[in-house]
A and B are shown apart, each in its own frame.
Chain A
Amino acid sequence: MSADQRGPEVGVAGAAGAVGAVGAVGAEDVHVSASRIEGYARGALRAELFVEVEDHLGQCLHCRTVLASIASRSRTDAGWRQLSERLDAPSRSRLEGLFVTVGVPEHLARLAMATPVLRRSWLAAAVTALLFALLAARLSPAVSATVLLLVAPLVPVTGVALSYGPAADPMYELGLVMPVSSLRLVLLRSATVLLTSAVLGAVAALAMPVQGLALFGWLAPSLAVVTLALALSAYLEAGIAAGVAGAVWVASVAWAGWGSTTRSALLTGPAQAACVLVASVGAGLVAAQRHRFEQGSWRSGRRSTA
């Protein structure tokens, strides 16, 4: 356990009721331990503890003397700098923190996660949708694969619709005129949504009474639906584009035999290959129409202008 994780640690005795880094009683009665002062000088303390020790040092000659004996001015200054940087570090959501932990550069993690919907509401909706799918599958195991196949691709396409565009992103207009291209931002956020959805979908699939291709047969359709939505969003509002892509997917599942007790026609090799083809064509269209993502959607009259 590191010094800054331990509980109350006082040097000189006599501090009944002492709390935190130093006692709650008169500052001159209780002193900070030498190890904690050392931690303070190195900037190794948690921010709150650092401030608490700093407060005490301002009032206690004894502890200042200890500090002077163990720490040079430059080390203390370095500690202050580190504290200041920690206090100024933008706060991260758990998901953003997870991305940084697994090696995603912090600026990319921030760009990917800055859309509010990625922080809470969409995640909650995604988990709820998959839980309902899980419940339906439990109640009627025969249609488990179809339920999963229907719901799993709709989760990421909803997330993509809610992660960019003037309706979803309050900083849309500002983002348009930045050196970091809007398409890059869209793709980064879409990839984040797809990745998160894939993890949630995989967890749901493993909890369902499905096997074989049905386990992960929703991945290629997810990619196809999302890519189709992105390609359409070069021409339509992001929400409408996602709605169209989602509707196409629902129709496809219905066409392939909704509720069939046999395996859905979409869970066959050729159907999966077709999904990959749709995804490839969609990606090609996005690349071909990339300039459209760099222009405000006001031009099409979807938003009013002054």
Chain B
Amino acid sequence: MSGSESTVNVRSVSVGFRGRPALDGVSFVLRPGVTGLLGPNGAGKTTLLRVLATAISPDRGELSLLGEDPGTGPGKLAIRRRLGYLPQNPGFHPGFTALEFVDYVAILKELTDRRARRAEVLRVLETVGLADQRAKKIKALSGGMRQRVALAAAIIGDPDLLVLDEPTVGLDPEQRLRFRELVADLGEGRTVLLSTHQTEDVSALCRRVIVLDRGVVKFQGLPAELKAVAEGRVWSSTERDRTALAGWRTGEGTFRNIGTPPQEARRLAPTLEDGYLLLLDGAPAADQGVLR
């Protein structure tokens, strides 16, 4: 674990919608580098990211972002000046080109000087590899390019905290790889929280991982520690094993099972996904010493 100081401190944060808790006593810290946020649909990931992006104030709990209190006006403004946010569905004005979209966001980030703004807009478009596509209408760009445009907007002003909500959804493998490279580069020297459904993204990118389920943090630690949750609990069989928590036929024709293996079972090396699935299925992760 990095010894660097925490940049985000979340303590016992709760958020409810019409009496239903979306986040329930969530606590964790973030440090510079990329942290992955895993969780099933409805786990509260987007709500948590909106809280960290200052779009929602928590009902209870304490929050410190980049050393500032988002509960105060000056604190919120100071955070927003150093924040980059990529929402799950970044909306685009239909008539905007890539350059116009990023330019518009640059204005919202208080870059009012035209020359300085232009230089910054070109810099971020260059960073995401879209400088040559800047004059194209966003609606004419591919899904991967649109995500890169949205990422370009998020990194305007070189933010210290970057909050990315499922940026790799809908991307093909090549686009996802390109996106990972970008996020890995951006994680150098700044705090990045990456919400994702893809355990591969976490394996490839993240220094730490948080698992959220039904508004509660079920795990936070190193990816290797999450993988260790499934140590000794993954096995192969020639027939479907009904005692397994989950099992699926692999390309080789055998079944890969997770759960409590039979005595004679042939154990397999676990993956991060195995650990994640077991954790969500109520695996006693605390026994592994990694539930924080």
Interface residues of A (CB under 8 A from B): 85, 87-88, 90-91, 105-107, 110-111, 114-116, 119, 169-180, 185, 294-296, 298-299, 301, 305-306
Contacts and interface: CB of A to CB of B under 8 A. Distances in A.
B100 A177 contact: no
Contact of A174 (B44, B45, B105, B114): B105
Given A174-B153, A294-B76, A306-B41, A106 B93 contact: no
Contact of A295 (B17, B55, B134): B55
B94 A306 contact: no
A172 B83 CA distance: 16
B118 A85 contact: yes
B17 A305 contact: yes
Contacts, number: 109
22 contacts: A85-B118, A87-B135, A88-B99, A90-B100, A91-B97, A110-B103, A114-B93, A116-B95, A119-B95, A170-B94, A171-B91, A173-B90, A177-B80, A178-B105, A180-B107, A295-B55, A296-B50, A298-B56, A301-B18, A305-B47, A306-B43, A306-B45
B118 A170 contact: no
Nearest to B90: A174
B248 interface: no
Contacts of A119: 95
Contacts of A169: 91
A169 B109 CA distance: 17
A178 B56 contact: no
Contact of B77 (A85, A179, A295): A179
Nearest to A303: B17
Contact of B17 (A175, A180, A299): A299
Given A116-B94, A305-B22, A306-B42, A177 B17 contact: no
A178 B54 CA distance: 9
Contacts of A175: 108
Contacts of B80: 177-179
Interface in B113-127: 114, 117-118, 122
Given A174-B105, A177-B80, A178-B109, A90 B47 contact: no
B110 interface: yes
Contacts of B42: 306
Nearest to B135: A87
Interface residues of B, number: 49
A218 to B, nearest CB: 31
A180 B110 contact: yes
Given A174-B105, A178-B105, 8 more contacts: A88-B118, A173-B50, A174-B87, A176-B55, A177-B53, A180-B109, A298-B56, A299-B17
A179 B81 contact: yes
A82 to B, nearest CB: 12
B46 interface: yes
Given A87-B135, A178-B80, A298-B56, A110 B104 contact: yes
Contacts of B153: 174
A250 to B, nearest CB: 32
Q: Which of A179, A301, A306 has the most CB of B within 10 A?
A: A306
B109 A306 contact: no
A121 to B, nearest CB: 11
Nearest to B103: A90
A298 B17 contact: yes
Given A88-B122, A174-B153, A295 B92 contact: no
A294 to B, nearest CB: 7
